[in-house]
Amino acid sequence: MADPNLAVVEDREDDDLEGLYGLTDDLVRSVHAAIAADDRATVRELVEPLHAADQADLVQALSSADRDLIEKYLGREFDPQLFAYLDEAVREDLLEDLEPEALARVVNELDTDDALDIIEDLEDADQAALLQQMPVGERALYEEALGYPEESAGRLMRREYAAIPIDWSVGQAIDYMRSDAELPDEFYGLFVVGPDHKPTGIVMTSRLLRRRRYVPVKNIMETEIKLIPVTMDQEDVAFLFHQYGLVEAPVIDDAGRIVGVITVDDVVHVIHEEHEEDILKLGGVQADDLYEAVVATTRLRGSWLLVNLATAILASIVIGLFQAEIEKVVALAVLMPIVASMGGNAGTQTLTVAVRALAVRELTASNALRVLGKELLVGAINGLVFAVLMGTVAYFWFSEMEIALVIGAAMIVNLVVANVAGLLIPLGLDRAGIDPAVSSGVILTTVTDVIGFLFFLGLAGLVLF
């Protein structure tokens, strides 16, 4: 028999956990009310205890005017770490009000990889002014990083890393970690380097702390490490971490010397960024415009809608070729949207799977033919099933067998074409060096609409007239 007291405890624990992570609507409303009342003390009391990520979410939940006020109220108590979590548009909104000295303070509080995210998004003049506020050594470091390609390992890596000579013992390594040496605030292991500063292995801190002090580090280090060239694309870096279950990996320059480190938290950010980018592009949105101004959002979306308009006109031209047949048989006009809709949806299913498979390298030249055969069969089977269903509906709807046969045949052809196009379009774009997430959708829609209408209306012209 269940203990009723235990159930009460569990319910209470659930209530206590509610709102434990992230922001609550009540907190956002309280901060907004405190800002409206010009109650700076309450704003500080509510905001300061929050984690930097939650502070970032709070800032993004406020209007632009309230963001400026909360930044003013907190002043130097504004946690610089929150800039690492902000949406790019919101971050620009806050940073443009900061003087170079204040901006330099923010950057100096961040890890080098997060600081570089801010520096690279600044206008050239603001970037130069900020770099002038930095010590010569740090300025040179960031200038070198900005020389690497965008979205490369050199831009992604953190310059702070922990490394030890290969001839050290476990005791020396432990003493080094306990010393006043400049080490990252957080690290998973120590990279073992030779006299040439080339990484030869890594010893994880968990393994290090379980060995005797006299044991040589080279006897317990892992030698099978994955080296990341500084110019490697961040998508390839993410694939490497996913494929081999890495938590951190050294970044090397052209000479093979270690120059930085990429950790799993950096890769999680990349995966999220690339996933978000692909989803937005598949929807015909060039960038995340949730926090952009109305004019900017309109411009970003309008350019892609213009492309869609051109493809829609092309489909309409095909329909116009059969205007006489449509005028004679109203059923054709009624059934046309069904053909286009089914083809578009079937193609989008295949397209989504294909774009995702290309991104994670599951769809390659070696298995493309096999996958194509599968999509042909899937399209044919689904086409037959829905041809029978739609043909039956059309027959009872319009009491004409010819119309039922035409819609059924069109359904089979369009679903087969949709599945094949949904695979071949992203494959072709990828082979041509074009991001398949950008253009695949609009091309697919054009293909399924044009082929669907052309076959359906053309067959109807032959059968019915």
10 Å Cβ neighbour count for 74?
A: 16
CATH number of 294-464: 1.10.357.20
pLDDT bracket for residue 15 (50, 70, 90): very low
Does the predicted model carry a pTM greater than 0.75? no
Q: What is the rounded average pLDDT for all residues in the chain?
A: 82
Name the more confident of 102 and 253: 253
Tell me: pLDDT of 56 over 80.
yes
What percent of the chain has pLDDT above 70? Answer: 85
| pLDDT tens, residue by residue, 134-166 | 888 788 888 888 888 888 999 999 888 999 999
| pLDDT tens, residue by residue, 267-290 | 888 887 777 666 666 665 555 555
- Distance CA(243)–CA(237), nearest Å, equals 10
25-156 is a CATH 2.40.160.20 domain: no
CATH number of 163-281: 3.10.580.10
Name the more confident of 20 and 200: 200
pLDDT bracket for residue 311 (50, 70, 90): low
Comparing 49-63, 192-206, 310-324, 357-371, the range with the smallest average pLDDT is: 310-324
pLDDT bracket for residue 304 (50, 70, 90): low
- Distance CA(49)–CA(67), nearest Å, equals 18
Q: What is the mean pLDDT of residues 318-345?
A: 79
pLDDT given at position 136: 82
pLDDT given at position 13: 43
Query: Going by C-beta distance under 8 Å and a sequence separation of 6 or more, which residues neighbour residue 436?
Result: 354, 355, 358, 425, 426, 427, 429, 430
CATH 1.10.357.20 domain span(s) along the chain: 294-464
pLDDT bracket for residue 9 (50, 70, 90): very low
pLDDT given at position 17: 44
- Distance CA(174)–CA(215), nearest Å, equals 12
Highest mean pLDDT among 7-21, 107-121, 370-384: 370-384
pLDDT bracket for residue 4 (50, 70, 90): very low
- Distance CA(24)–CA(31), nearest Å, equals 11
Tell me: pLDDT of 389 over 70.
yes
pLDDT given at position 193: 94
| pLDDT tens, residue by residue, 210-240 | 999 999 999 999 998 999 999 999 989 988 9
Tell me: pLDDT of 416 over 90.
yes
| pLDDT tens, residue by residue, 23-39 | 788 888 888 888 888 88
With the C-alpha atoms ordered 336, 338, 339, 344, is the resulting torsion angle positive or negative? positive
CATH 3.10.580.10 domain span(s) along the chain: 163-281
pLDDT bracket for residue 16 (50, 70, 90): very low
- Distance CA(324)–CA(43), nearest Å, equals 70
pLDDT given at position 1: 42
Question: Residue 106 carries which side chain, given as an amino acid letter?
Answer: V
pLDDT given at position 165: 95
pLDDT given at position 283: 60
- Distance CA(439)–CA(387), nearest Å, equals 30
With the C-alpha atoms ordered 339, 342, 344, 346, is the resulting torsion angle positive or negative? negative
pLDDT given at position 420: 93
pLDDT given at position 176: 92
Q: What is the mean pLDDT of residues 421-436?
A: 88
| pLDDT tens, residue by residue, 441-450 | 878 888 888 8
Q: What is the mean pLDDT of residues 335-343?
A: 85
pLDDT bracket for residue 299 (50, 70, 90): low
pLDDT given at position 436: 82
CATH 1.25.60.10 domain span(s) along the chain: 25-156
User: Of 310, 309, 290, whose CA–CA distance to 300 is shortest?
Assistant: 290
Q: What is the mean pLDDT of residues 62-74?
A: 79
pLDDT given at position 292: 62
Helix (H) or strand (E) holding 49: none
pLDDT bracket for residue 171 (50, 70, 90): very high
pLDDT given at position 77: 64
pLDDT bracket for residue 356 (50, 70, 90): confident
